[in-house]
Amino acid sequence: MSQGASDRDRREVGIDALGVYTPRLALSLEDLARARGIAPEKVTVGLGAHTMAVAPPWEDAVTLGASAAARALARGGVAADEIGLLLLATETAVDHAKPASIFLHELLGLPTSCRTFELKHACYGGTAGLMVATEWLRSGAARGRKALVVASDIARYDIGSSAELTQGAGAAALVVSEAPRLLRLDPASGVYASQVYDFWRPLDRREALVDGKFSLDCYLTALDGALADYHRSHAGHAGATRDAGAGSGGSAHEREDAAGAPLADRLAAFLYHTPFPKMAYKAHLRLMESEWRRWGRAADLLGEAAERSYSGQVEPWLTMARQVGNTYTASLYLCLAWLAEQQGRALAGREIALFSYGSGCCAELFTGHLQPGCGEIAATIGAADLLRARRLLSVEEYEALSREAGGSRAPEPHEAGFCHLAAIRDHKRIYERAACPA
């Protein structure tokens, strides 16, 4: 690695503030399973899920994303005119040409001197946006401004299909900046890409299509590839840092790596893209197996170590995924929100891993350090309050809502977030802001 590259690495860049949002309506997955003649244990044990958020006709990727972003800015104390880059990642786009991000630009009152576009790579889109924003900041092009990266989706499959139990809706908004208050991203990251048909949504369909069992294999293969690439990237960055500061002896984690420590020994937590919680369990077992082989640990100790690591380093951060369902691009960042809100103060200074998977496919494994003092900004997220404020629907109400056209009904004031889809006229979408923001 060149000296220039390691200078870029030294810029402290990452997530400064985080906002999340999920619809105010939800459905018990045990009720849905019973209605479909499926044993409820298949949901609670087999998939590890509990409830899914249901998007009513006044919500779409724009309204969910705008509500998360408004919360990130207002609660994080970030002014609209500090934003110089706005990226919206979604796989539930509302127009084939007009980017959903431009609606957020208007709704949030962002400055005209702000680059903005929509990105798509299935559930990986949010992470793609985060990486673009990080590079924009590391390159110096930001000129002191911040980026706003929004991941927003409604996971919809055909009613009665086996994937129906893995639906959901929600959004996450990340303010990305230098000197971040929440999570400083490390320069090392591992990427994997390969063309596969595991999950897709042709342009004329609202509901996604999926080759369910194959999609699980693709996710795990991508994790293997991203993990191997992460180790290569980490070794490269550690080597460059050592060369740049010869004689310093390297950082604590470089020394641990040199001593042959699996990631679970070095890191405090692992966050996974979570279409349903059991997927995170399968992924973590796979990662542990791979790490065990890499560092030549005794095979008979793997099972217990993997279960212990899952219970302490993965499972506690799955609450939002368990209660909201799949949120595609936002899923990984809802796990981060829960970790930060529940344990940010206790884990300040510790390193965590994030694994992002997008069908089709592209995946990335990267690490970051929870910033000293991150408990203060983490306390503004309000994820638990969002879950408490929801109303549970009956299966009949959920089915009726699913059939309604977007913009066909206005919400009651307590049912909407920062804005709602008021109508679609002449193929144009009309959004209205709520009286009381964020």
Residues that bind ligand CAA (CB under 6 A): 39, 41-42, 45-47, 123, 162-163, 165-166, 198-199, 210, 212-213, 215-216, 219, 273, 275, 278-279, 326, 328, 357, 359
Beta strand 115-119 pairing with 83-89: parallel
Q: Which is nearer to ligand CAA, 58 or 357 (CB)?
A: 357
Helix runs in 118-182, H state only = 125-139
Distances (CA, A) of 231 to 116, 191, 262: 33, 11, 11
Continuous segment of H or E residues that includes residue 73: helix 61-76
Write down the least CB distance from residue 41 to ligand CAA, Å: 3
Q: Which is nearer to ligand CAA, 18 or 163 (CB)?
A: 163
Q: Which is nearer to ligand CAA, 69 or 210 (CB)?
A: 210
Write down the least CB distance from residue 396 to ligand CAA, Å: 22
Write down the least CB distance from residue 134 to ligand CAA, Å: 23
Give the integer Cα–Cα distance in Å for 91 and 153.
Answer: 6
| Residue least distant from ligand CAA (Cβ) | 46
- Any catalytic annotation for residue 284? no
- Any catalytic annotation for residue 273? yes
Write down the least CB distance from residue 44 to ligand CAA, Å: 8
Q: Which of 50, 114, 118, 123 is catalytic?
A: 123
Q: Which is nearer to ligand CAA, 108 or 279 (CB)?
A: 279
Residue at token pair 């369990």:
281
Eight-class DSSP state of 394 = P
- Tokens for 100, please give them: 């959903």
Three-state DSSP at 121 gives strand
Write down the least CB distance from residue 39 to ligand CAA, Å: 4
Q: Which is nearer to ligand CAA, 199 or 310 (CB)?
A: 199
Q: Which of 105, 121, 273, 369 is catalytic?
A: 273
* C-beta pairs of 44-50 under 8 Å, 24+ apart in sequence: 46/278, 47/165, 47/166, 47/276, 47/277, 47/278, 48/276, 48/277, 48/278, 48/281, 48/318, 48/322, 49/165, 49/166, 49/276, 49/277, 49/278, 49/321, 49/322, 49/325, 50/322, 50/323
- Any catalytic annotation for residue 419? no
What is the set of active-site residues? Answer: 91, 123, 273
